[in-house]
Structure 1
Amino acid sequence: MSSSDRRSFLALLGALPLAACGFTPVYAPGGPGLEIRDRLALAEPDTRLDFELVSRLEDRLGRTGSAPYRLSYAIETSRSNLAISDADEINRVNIYGTVSYTVTEVATGIQVQTGEVSTFTAYATSASPVSTSAAERDAEDRLMIALADQIVARLISGAGNWS
């Protein structure tokens, strides 16, 4: 058996269990990733963190003004100091974030999916207030991206029940 025949055979053999379990790619035609794209209107952002979250959600889910479903959310963040030097200076800060979200069918007002996601990120402080502020902002942006990606994953996994 030649090398290319062997690879084709092994690829086919590896795909066999996936076909047997009903595996469908998320973004395949008819997949849940495409079923919810452009079908969710997002609540308007009020704060910078809201804007970062909504921006990432729109990148992943599409941007639409009128849609059959509405996604509302609530963001909570907190901070904790991780590393303190001998001189009592804070060297590292964790930012924890939680987003509670609800998908509501616009026509009926029925909640079709709710959930909560959470994660954290960190940043290093420095003697420069400007660089510390920039690092904090970057960490907040990364936090919102991670939370938005978790929301999208949950929406896609639950979309078969309501979309």
Structure 2
Amino acid sequence: MKRIAALILLAGTMPLLGGCGLHPLYAAGDRGPVAQTLGTVEIGPIAGKNGWLVRTALEDRLGKAGQSRYRLDVELDDQILGVGVRTDNTVTRERRTLRARYKLVDIEAGTVLLDATAGSDAGIDVVTSEYAVLAAEQSALERLSGEVADQIVARVALYASHLKTAAR
């Protein structure tokens, strides 16, 4: 009896969900307006090894669909801090933090359309093997680069969806 009541309630609320404003961000796949806009974003140079990792991750996620209309300028802040310290002042745990400040610029007009930040952090155990610690720091940087790129692309895609909605 409870299941039937739940199904009736669910069926009654289904028509209301269409009016809630939710819509798929990547509707129509690669040919959709958001994907087409993301394909026109070029990525400015980003300094350093961490910059190369973030830039590569962004290129993988944005794709290229034509002539560049927008430019994405990214500045990174990469820090490793010792957070677990023993009484003899040896570090037992590190936190690697990667933060990005990015701007979406309209190339023709030269105006900044979007100015935002993204960031993530990861914990790293410090062990007796220096090689293991360096490998863990590198692995953390690779993961963080992907996470930051995901955040940037999601925010730019959201902005692109608002552009297309406003153009209608």
TM-score range (shorter-chain normalised) is 0.7 to 0.9
SS class of match (1:154): helix
**Structure 2 residue aligned with 1:153:** 154
Please provide the CA RMSD for this pair.
2.7
Task: For residue 158 of structure 1, report the CA deviation from its aligned partner.
Answer: 1.6
Does the 8 Å CA contact 1:25/1:31 hold for their aligned counterparts?
no
Greater shift in the superposed pair: 96-105 or 78-87: 78-87
**Structure 2 residue aligned with 1:3:** none
Structure 1 39/15 Cα, relative in aligned 2: closer, same or farther at 3 Å? farther
Question: Could you list the per-position Cα deviations for residues 76-95 of structure 1 after superposition, in whole angstroms to 9, with x for gaps in the alignment?
Answer: 12222121234432111001
Identical aligned residues as a percent = 24
**Structure 2 residue aligned with 1:42:** 43
Task: For residue 10 of structure 1, report the CA deviation from its aligned partner.
Answer: 8.1
> What amino acid is aligned across from residue 24 of structure 1 in structure 2?
H
CA distance in 1, matches of 2:23, 2:33: 9
CA distance in 2, matches of 1:99, 1:43: 13
| Count of residues in Structure 1 that have an aligned counterpart in Structure 2 | 159
**Structure 2 residue aligned with 1:132:** 133
Task: For residue 115 of structure 1, report the CA deviation from its aligned partner.
Answer: 0.7
CA distance in 1, matches of 2:115, 2:32: 21
Does the 8 Å CA contact 1:36/1:61 hold for their aligned counterparts?
no
**Structure 1 residue aligned with 2:78:** 77
Does the 8 Å CA contact 1:41/1:65 hold for their aligned counterparts?
no
Question: Could you list the per-position Cα deviations for residues 21-62 of structure 1 after superposition, in whole angstroms to 9, with x for gaps in the alignment?
Answer: 232111112756424231100112431101111111112111
Question: Could you list the per-position Cα deviations for residues 97-154 of structure 1 after superposition, in whole angstroms to 9, with x for gaps in the alignment?
Answer: 2111111111111111111122211211111111111111111111211111111121
Give structure 1 stretches of 5+ with no counterpart: 1-7
SS class of match (1:22): coil
Matches within 5 A, 1:11-160: 15-29=14-28, 33-63=34-64, 66-160=67-161
Normalised TM-score (structure 2): 0.79
CA distance in 1, matches of 2:72, 2:9: 43
Does the 8 Å CA contact 2:81/2:95 hold for their aligned counterparts?
yes
